Structure formats: C-alpha cells, structure tokens
C-alpha cells in the first residue's frame, strides 16, 4: 500500500510485497529462490509473463551423477541448488514494468530485515517442523539460538538487509557479480558444488508468452514450461468434459472426477513437461483436443483408475504468492519460492541468503525432457494464474501448496465458473488432492465422513490432510466499472487489502 501511495504501480507493489514476505515467511521464500510473474495489461487486454527461474551450473550433468550411482538429486544436496533467479527477475520487472526505482521498491524490505517482523502462527509452525533442515550458517541466520522462532518473537535478518542495500545501489549486478555472489559461491563450493562466477553472471530472467485455454466461456491463462501451468490447463480441460455443475461441490462424485483428472494430467506432465533447453517443447500430446478426449475417455465416473508411475525427482513443497491490481487496472500475479521449507538448508555465511533446492526437481533419467544438464532449468511447480472473460473481468490468482498448485488452479476455477461461488467462498471451499507419488487421495478435515467413505468405496485410498491444503489469493477487476473484489485464504497468514 505504501508503494502504491508513493506513485508505484501494481508491479512495484508486488515486488516490494514479495520481498518483504521473505522475512515474514523465511521457510517459504527468499532472495536465494526463483520467481514467476504474469502481468495483464488492461489497455490492450493482453497478458505477458516473466520466467525468473534459475539454471543448473554449466558443469553439472546427469550422466556424471549417474556415474556416481545416484538415481535422484536429494533435497539437501549442494547439487540441488540451481542459481537463484529471483533477484534478476525483480530487477527486470521494476526496470521494464514499474514506475519507481529499485531503491524505493526495496526500502520496505530493507526496513523490515533490519528491524525485524513478528513471527506469525503459521510461520512458527513451519519453523518448528522444518528448522532441523537448516545446516551450517543457515542455523545461525534463521534460528533463534538453538531453536526455531516462536509465535510473536521478532525475526530480523541484518545480513540480508546489507545485501538489499547493495542491490538497491547497484541493481541485480550486486547479487550476481559482486560480494553477494562471492559469499554464496564460497558456500556452495565449500560443499562440493560445481557453481562458478560465470554461472551467476549469465543468469537472466526470460520473457515468455502465456498459454491459454477456454473453460466454459472463460479463459484460464498460465505460463508455459518449465512451469506446470500446462498441467492446470489439462485438468480444467478434462473437467470440462463432465457436467460438474450438476454435482454437489463437496460431493464424493466431484472429488473423484477431480482426482481422476489430476491422476491423468500429472501423468502427462511427467512425460511432456520440462525445460527443452535449446530445443522446442511440443505440448500437442498433452493439450490437443485429441489428447484430451483420449484421456477423458479413461475416466470412469464411478471408479478410481490405475496409479500412473510417479516421477523420481522431488516436487515442490512450499511458496508464497502475491497479487496486486492498481488504479489503472494493471494486474500482477506473482509467485516466489525456495522450493522445500528452508530450501536446501544452506545459507551464505556473511549475508545469510538462504539457498533453494529447486534442482531436486530435475530427473536423472537419460533422454527425459526434464533430465539434468548444465544451463537447464528444472521442472517447476510454481504457477501464477489469471482467469478472465475478455471485456468483462480479469482475475489474477494463485494457489500455493507445492505439487497441489495445478489441481488448485483448476479447482478454484471450477468453484467460480461451475458453481458461481464468490471469490472468498471459492477459496474457502474444502480441497482434495490425488498424489501420484503415493497413490493416495488427500482430503481436508472439513469434508463429511460420508464423503470419505464413498470415496473409499470408489477405490481411493483416502487420508485426511493434517493441516489446511495450500493457500490462495485472488483479485477480480470488473472491466466496465473498475470495481475490485479480493479474497485471501484463511489457511495461510494473508489478507485482502484495498485503498
């Protein structure tokens, strides 16, 4: 809000807010992570995207790890640390899309990194559950002595404040070529990483063209691979083949169809989605009408299907999401993450930059589109989204929750379109997720026991989610009136604000 009041636009505000969230939720995100952004321009009605995900070190290749007997990249391995892409992406967003200078946008984050922020309930829970993943300098920078921070205690990051001041003065170059890079590189090399100064200096966010598919007269807009936005489009396309609106939104029948669409769509993702590097990625086998019809014909509305072989690489656990719409109607959907809680567990010695473990999302399978190779980006589960009816409304939105995100996008869209829910009701509604890695159907505790029993009768292995599943935020902008309607998920520490 302060950034908007200073004359900033939605991009300025989204970047400022996202970086501050790195201190509010340090287990979820930070400067050592990646970011994706989807921007909708009301003046043209067009959307554009930015892929701010980092790449594997040039000297790291799957064949070398296979030769060492490895079958996957572990979550706490130094080889899981791809070069962080977020800072370059933030710098580029402000330079190309913002109204303010980078120093002004970073000022709130510098303030909160220095003075600290109170630890919220969910943040304290995450710290207690995952703090033991931290190692080396990570313990010193993110723990309160020998334990995780508790609710209402104050977390400060003076080292990151110093880093942000350097970035404010020199831009992203300070992160990728200066003392911050040297600090990070020293940490990685000491652990046996193959990262080089050249890997950091060559890091650059990529402008991308969003991919879109209609859903019952609405357009669902996603970013292309290496993210899994195509998976969300496929789930929605499969659900469109069924009369979802005729069902109770919280019925076993609706949950079952969503689970089956998820099973098939994530199976397709495992085959088709990754970073093609210098090649091209053909999604026709996943998103053509023929492919969708063939998959839809495999869904039995009354019986669970066969588990598809899961992938061996790790899939995304946690993240933060932020959306902003400004007075001009510019819409920003931005997602920012360090992959698993506290990322790799490593942090740089001087500045305390927590380093993500996104490289665990690579496969070591020879010939796979997502096979690890130097300079490639891994499969990402991060997906900012946008739902629109051209000339009627635009709604930037995001659903956090690791691998759940693609299902979460389709579920939220279905709640809005098929059942006519308002934004907050669509966000609040009970969630479920078929996990192809375990073959289980996870449902939230708010589902009636009779629904769980019916799903078991249909052949699902049902488990109850120990806490709320993911989190979501959205803002709908009415084109004719400019009216904004927002919603924020009670499962997370978030809020919808307007001025």
Q: Where in the sequence numbering do the catalytic residues fall?
A: 319
Using alpha carbons, select from 25, 88, 44, 83 the residue that is nearest to residue 322.
Answer: 25
Instruction: Tell me the helices (H) and strands (E) count for the chain, helix number first.
Output: 18, 16
Q: For helices 252-272 and 449-457, give the axis angle rounded to 10 degrees.
A: 60
- Contact present, 175 and 181 (Cβ < 8 Å): yes
Alpha-carbon distance 225 to 205, whole Å? 14
Dist. CA 83–CA 196, nearest whole Å: 10
**Contact by Cβ (8 Å): 332, 37:** yes
Instruction: Please state, in angstroms and rounded to a whole number, the distance separating the CA atoms of residues 412 and 404.
Output: 12
Burial 396-429 (b: 16+ CB within 10 A, else e): bbbbbbbbbbbbbbbbbbbbbbbbebebbebbbb
Q: What is the DSSP letter of 228?
A: S
CA distance 191 to 78: 6
With tokens 């200096």, the residue in question is: 201
């Amino acid at each position: 809000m302060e950034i908007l009041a200073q004359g900033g636009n939605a991009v300025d505000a989204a970047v400022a807010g996202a970086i501050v969230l790195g201190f509010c939720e340090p287990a979820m995100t930070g400067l050592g992570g990646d970011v994706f952004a989807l921007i909708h321009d009301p003046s043209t009605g067009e959307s554009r995207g930015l892929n701010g995900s980092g790449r594997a070190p040039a000297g790291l290749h799957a064949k070398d790890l296979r030769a060492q007997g490895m079958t996957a990249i572990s979550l706490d391995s130094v080889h899981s640390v791809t070069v962080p892409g977020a800072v370059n992406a933030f710098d580029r967003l402000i330079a190309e899309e913002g109204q303010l200078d980078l120093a002004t946008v970073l000022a709130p984050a510098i303030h909160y990194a220095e003075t600290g922020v109170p630890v919220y309930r969910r943040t304290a829970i995450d710290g207690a559950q995952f703090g033991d993943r931290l190692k080396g300098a990570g313990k010193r920078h993110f723990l309160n002595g020998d334990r995780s921070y508790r609710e209402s205690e104050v977390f400060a990051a003076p080292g990151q404040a110093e880093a942000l001041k350097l970035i404010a003065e020199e831009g992203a170059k300070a992160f990728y070529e200066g003392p911050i890079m040297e600090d990070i590189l020293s940490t990685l090399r000491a652990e046996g990483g193959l990262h080089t100064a050249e890997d950091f200096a060559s890091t650059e966010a990529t402008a991308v063209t969003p991919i879109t598919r209609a859903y019952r007269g609405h357009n669902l807009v996603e970013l292309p691979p290496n993210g899994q936005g195509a998976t969300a489009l496929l789930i929605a396309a499969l659900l469109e083949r069924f009369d979802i609106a005729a069902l109770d939104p919280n019925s076993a029948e609706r949950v079952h169809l969503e689970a089956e669409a998820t099973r098939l769509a994530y199976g397709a993702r495992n085959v088709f989605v990754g970073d093609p590097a210098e090649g091209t990625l053909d999604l026709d086998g996943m998103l053509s009408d023929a492919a969708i019809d063939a998959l839809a014909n495999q869904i039995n509305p009354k019986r669970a299907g066969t588990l598809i072989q899961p992938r061996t690489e790790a899939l995304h656990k946690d993240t933060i999401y932020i959306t902003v719409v400004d007075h001009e109607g510019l819409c920003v959907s931005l997602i920012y993450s360090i992959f698993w809680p506290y990322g790799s567990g490593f942090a740089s010695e001087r500045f305390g930059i927590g380093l993500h473990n996104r490289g665990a999302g690579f496969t070591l399978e020879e010939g796979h589109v997502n096979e690890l190779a130097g300079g490639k980006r891994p499969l990402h589960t991060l997906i900012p989204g946008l739902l629109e009816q051209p000339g009627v409304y635009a709604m930037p939105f995001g659903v956090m929750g690791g691998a759940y995100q693609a299902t979460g996008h389709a579920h939220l869209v279905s709640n809005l379109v098929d059942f006519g829910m308002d934004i907050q009701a669509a966000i609040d509604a009970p969630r479920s997720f078929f996990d192809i890695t375990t073959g289980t159907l996870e449902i939230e505790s708010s589902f009636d026991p009779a629904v769980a029993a019916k799903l078991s009768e249909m052949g699902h292995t049902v488990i109850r989610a120990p806490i709320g599943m993911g989190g979501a935020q959205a803002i709908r902008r009415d084109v004719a009136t400019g009216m904004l309607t927002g919603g924020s998920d009670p499962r997370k520490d978030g809020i919808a604000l307007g001025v």
